Structure 1
Amino acid sequence: MTLLASNYANDPIDVFVGDWMSEANMTARANVKLNGQMEAYEPTFLEALEPALLHIAKHGIKVAVNAGASDTKKLHEVVKKMIAGKGLKLSVAWISGDEVLQQLIDAQRRGESPFENLCTEERLEDWQFEPIYAQAYLGGLGIAKAFEKGADIVLCGRVSDASPLIGAAYWWHKWQRSDLDKLANAFVAGHLSECSSYSTGGNYTGFKDLEGLGWENIGYPIVEIAQSGEVIVTKNQGSAGEVSINTLTSQLLYEIQGPWYFNSDVTAVLHDISFEYISENRIALHGVKGALPPPTTKVGITAKPIYQAEMHWFMTGLDIPAKARMMEQLIRTQMGNHAQKLLNLSFQIIGSCAENPTNQNAATADFRVIAQAHRAKDLAPAKFVRPCIDPIMCAYPGATPHLDLRQAFPKEVFEYYVTLLPQSVIKHEVHLASGEVIDIPPPPDSKTWPKRQPSQDTTTTAADLSGFGTTIRAPLGTIVHARSGDKGSDCNVGFWVRHRDEYAWLQNLLSTVFMKELLAEEYNGKSIERCEFPGLKAIHFLLRDHLDRGVSCTTSVDFLGKNCAEFLRARVVDIPAKFLARGHI
């Protein structure tokens, strides 16, 4: 924030927007607020804000962030004190209404909804965990109202990731709720820019091309939004990385779950979305259409904590699967009947031995034992660590446990449940510096959308794969970009290519049946949704309930779902030789 604010004279910024929220810190901060262990807002926001305040005040830059997490009111008090301590005159507003546990409980008692889990379709009454906190995803119009009333800084809790940018554009251009196309473009622009450097080269499969541009100083995206809703994405001057069609495609495919993109203020319809190269590091967004928002908004429910512990062994060289089987049997024997008291007990091999390894690290895999239980005492050292480590003298050849046992002691983790709540029961309010409180009503018009996104198992532009010429067996990622990420326990995975003829091949290769083949042992039998984005030369898949309950409590090492795409890119397929001749990604 300081970097950009201090360079205002050369690279002016009108509004800073920031997203400090994720499902991981939503659950953690919820628990913190209830037990009072520490502050329940995000303290790293203060680290970014404090040194930038003088520049923000000098240049009249507005700020809108969701760093309030689970205690926006407290963050508001801290920020006001910080500003006063610097002798500055900045007006600070805050947004409330995202905390909705009581509304959820009341609606459930009235039988208004089964509150199905968006990922698993489980009913809330059947969830085996006890809810302790719930946060709704608010829209951006409270932020717009705060700016309209003179606020310089607007602090929010769980507004949607794109809401700060939607609110800023709505206020700046004096839009109306009926300006759906404009709102939809701002909504997509918000998601293109909310993940820090993801749109400028972070987490991008073309990352090797960025080495010469400077990996160590990847910049931040800047969004320019016209009154008409037209969007151009660029980045701060003097920074490394790049803003390109590929980096923006990467970020977009990571965020969406299909061609309908829902927000409390608008639905963005993405069937015809595309990007246009304007000039170096300047890319225009096209093809986004606006539609009415749903009458509901997403709610994340945090449960009373469970407990988790894990233990690691190193396995080297030959026969690693057999070594893992031996170790698992030894540990299970040591645990005995106690294993039945655990919610989850998993034995995992992470990595493999390279063929003809030239160093020992290349020959070593991590054998991970991870367990979860309702009670911490069921993962006490005598119940977990000892059974895991005691077989050392009768274990596999080279048996070596990891000596850092900190993860082997029970820690709190949080089950997380995602459902929908009517916007009409949410009390969305703006708290101004004057003490005035303004109510933000729900959208006057909405649309009830189908539960499932449009999906097609195969392409409608069918072609025989043999028509693309002779093939060579090679990893899919040799010529195909990909990006994946989590949405609760769902995993979204997008693939795209460089050229139109490559896209015709990709459309015909990547059916839902072929996706199951690519997933191989990772396919869990759950449904897979598929859609095409011709304007991006992309195929998108939504892997339903793929991520073992989501980031806050998963037993997978890919807890964010980001490596699913990298696994799939490593899978060997038949690739037309003429495409490979163009060069590799």
Structure 2
Amino acid sequence: MPIIGYANGHTDGEQKALRIAAVSGGVFDRFRAMQDLAKDPSINVLFGDWISEISMTFRGNERASRASDAEQTAFELSFVAALKPAIKDIAKNKQRVAVNAGSCDPEALARIVQQLVKDHGTDLKVSWVTGDDVTKQFKNMLKSGEKFASLPSDTPIDQWGQDPICAQAYLGGAGIAEALRHGADIVICGRVSDAAPVIGAAMWFHNWGGEDFTQLAYALVAGHLLECSSYVTGGYFTGFKKELLYANNCTNLGFPIGEIEADGEFVITKEENAGGIVSIQTVTSQLLYEIQGPLYYNSDVTARFDGIKLVQEGPNRVRVSGVVGLPPPPTTKIGVTARGGWQAEVHFFLTGLDIKEKVELVKRQTLESMGDYRKEFQTLTFNVTGSVPANPRNQASATVDLRIFAQSRNPDLMSAGTHKGVAPDTPSFGKWCIENCLQGYPGGTPAMDLRQSIGKPFFEYWVALFPQDKIDHQVHTFDGQTILIPPPTNTKVYPRWQQSYDTASPLPLDTWGETVRAPLGHIVHGRSGDKSSDCNLGLFVRHADEWDWLRSLLSVGKLRELLEEEDKGKKIDRFEIPALYAVHFLLRDHLDRGANSSSTYDILGKNVCEYVRCKLVDIPKLFYGRGTI
């Protein structure tokens, strides 16, 4: 084999795989990962995801508020806490780091990290990437009449009714690759796509070009699998009982590692000295998480998912192949933030009989107390969580939670104004909810911690498309250079709606003989999640002979039947991944405005899957007899 020179400086007689480890799937992830994985000299790159749609809105507001509040920070300071104990090992093992913790101010975080590595006696070089803040370009285009139609609902932004304060574009990995090529050890980014650090690291390591679409698509899929850290090593896995809980393997799930080869194919594995599992089922679960259809779009490349194949190469090693790479679209996603107002909630506990009537009593009394003020609430809901079984065995099982949830633009109405306290006679949401206790329902019991009745700010979030050629994507190097990252020139315009279909030739459901009436989730794995107000739902089976049954059963119509009262009547897209025995649905605009402003408990759409899996269906005895998940 010829000698190959790599962009990262090593020369070897064999093509080596990039070993890249995920050290954070979100701002609340376990901090130990970076410190522990930095000790492994076989790992080339550490990367982490520190921001979400929720944190983007908070940091965007902080950035927009900076003129009036010099103390506002618009980045994720928790990254610094995770980095500190790892710095010396990162330097010793010559590892690279790429993260999005810069959020809405990557330069400010980079300056802090530059001083931090210096204080630890290392010469690690810190660069940062900008261009994701497209607020000025967005507002100019808005004034020129650009519609910025919502991706979930397809409605134009002028119907939103909100005043945007910032807009962030999802950048790709090309800037990260360029920073690494110019000698950066640590690259601080703002809003890049979740997979961008993996794409950028692989471009740098294997010296791929911007039109190596097959290789880039593999890196995109690898990044998608790795970016939620332990989601792919057993977190959120519907097979957790046997594989993790009963196996006493659930308390320290290992963080995942990707081994990306020069042709793009890769293996997902994990830390050796930690718990969790990497199996075809855990990888399939994460593969199906938060996708939109058979095509996965990124600023650098488009990956086709419906031909993907997984092979269990060994314990905790799954090889991924069958990825098809296509040109990227000329657009990328943007998230637009607006200040929504204030939200608050009050909880009551209702026990035993007549739950429906008790809820109605609370609702009528509360609305009467509010009088005309109820018109000042944008959102006002009375939701019951739980139900009372027949002849309950204890009081807890006979108790449900009534949640009164409100949103308003009036801070005083929500007791969220500038005044320190609330006078007893001041009209307020919390007071109206509580003042009826003594004329209330039998057993009336409010939750006594009323801090949630004091309004807290919430944000509205709008997701649309933005032209890549209007983004000022730049790398700022540790030695003072500024490098412009041009937009891709080889792009493809894709239809706004992806391919959606039911199975062309479903088999009669009596094909498999006698059935058992049981929850779908007894033999079907799944995963669901959110992208703005869209909710995706992927369901899959374990065995090849179960695939025809699953694809024949799960039509769009059947899903609506299983959703019952949760069916919003909106568009549902469907496609299949035959090699994974998977059916995927995209429930468009299913979630109440998304995580930032939702009035429901399931703000992230993660429980949609668990709701559907608990619904009763007729399962062939042949399959059920193999044992449940």
2:150 corresponds to which of 117, 121, 125: 117
Residue aligning to 1:431 = 476
How many residues in Structure 1 have an aligned counterpart in Structure 2? Answer: 583
Equivalent position amino acid for 1:487 in 2: K
Give the distance between the partners of 2:583 and 2:75, measured in 1 at CA.
Answer: 38
1:355 corresponds to which of 387, 390, 395: 390
- Contact 1:429–1:437 (8 Å) recurs in 2: yes
Q: SS of the residue aligned with 2:300? A: coil
- Contact 2:34–2:46 (8 Å) recurs in 1: no
- Contact 2:430–2:454 (8 Å) recurs in 1: yes
Any gaps of 5 or more consecutive residues in structure 1? none
Residue aligning to 2:312 = 277
Residue aligning to 1:311 = 346
Residue aligning to 2:120 = 86
Shift of 1:110: 2.5
Deviations 1:243-285 (A, max 9, x none): 1111111111113111010000000011211211100100011
Give the distance between the partners of 2:218 and 2:235, measured in 1 at CA.
Answer: 23
Please list, as runs of the form range in 1=range in 2, the aligned pairs for 1:158-173 lying within 5 A after superposition: 158-173=191-206
Q: SS of the residue aligned with 1:304? A: strand
- Contact 2:526–2:540 (8 Å) recurs in 1: yes
**TM-score relative to the length of structure 1:** 0.98
Superposed CA RMSD: 1.3
Give the distance between the partners of 1:438 and 1:198, measured in 2 at CA.
Answer: 35
Please list, as runs of the form range in 1=range in 2, the aligned pairs for 1:27-42 lying within 5 A after superposition: 27-35=57-65, 36=69, 37-42=71-76
Please list, as runs of the form range in 1=range in 2, the aligned pairs for 1:198-277 lying within 5 A after superposition: 198-208=231-241, 209-211=243-245, 212-277=247-312
Q: SS of the residue aligned with 1:107? A: helix
Q: Identify if the C-alpha distance between structure 1 residues 7 and 298 changes in structure 2 by more than 3 Å, giving closer, same or farther.
A: closer
Give the distance between the partners of 1:390 and 1:525, measured in 2 at CA.
Answer: 38
Equivalent position amino acid for 1:50 in 2: K
**TM-score relative to the length of structure 2:** 0.91
Equivalent position amino acid for 1:317 in 2: G
Please list, as runs of the form range in 1=range in 2, the aligned pairs for 1:561-576 lying within 5 A after superposition: 561-576=605-620
1:294 corresponds to which of 311, 329, 332: 329
Give the distance between the partners of 2:545 and 2:478, measured in 1 at CA.
Answer: 57
1:194 aligns with 2:239: no
Shift of 1:17: 1.0
Q: Identify if the C-alpha distance between structure 1 residues 526 and 264 changes in structure 2 by more than 3 Å, giving closer, same or farther.
A: same
Q: SS of the residue aligned with 2:564? A: helix
Equivalent position amino acid for 1:583 in 2: G
Give the distance between the partners of 1:512 and 1:20, measured in 2 at CA.
Answer: 35
Equivalent position amino acid for 1:377 in 2: D
Deviations 1:311-349 (A, max 9, x none): 000011122122111211111111111111110101100
Instruction: Tell me which stretches of 4 or more aligned residues in structure 1 moved more than 3 Å.
Output: 1-11
Residue aligning to 2:505 = 461
Q: SS of the residue aligned with 1:217? A: coil
1:378 aligns with 2:413: yes
Residue aligning to 2:486 = 441
Equivalent position amino acid for 1:162 in 2: A
1:322 aligns with 2:357: yes
Give the distance between the partners of 1:56 and 1:313, measured in 2 at CA.
Answer: 51
Deviations 1:469-488 (A, max 9, x none): 11111111111111100000
1:70 aligns with 2:104: yes
Shift of 1:214: 1.8
Residue aligning to 1:25 = 55
Give the distance between the partners of 2:195 and 2:566, measured in 1 at CA.
Answer: 32
Shift of 1:5: 5.5
1:107 aligns with 2:141: yes
Give the distance between the partners of 2:37 and 2:111, measured in 1 at CA.
Answer: 28
Equivalent position amino acid for 2:462 in 1: Y
Shift of 1:579: 1.2
2:173 corresponds to which of 140, 157, 181: 140
- Contact 1:303–1:415 (8 Å) recurs in 2: yes
* Structure with greater helix share of residues: 1
Deviations 1:43-92 (A, max 9, x none): 11111111000000000000000000111111011101111111110110
- Residue range with higher mean Cα deviation, 317-326 or 56-65: 317-326
1:559 corresponds to which of 603, 606, 611: 603
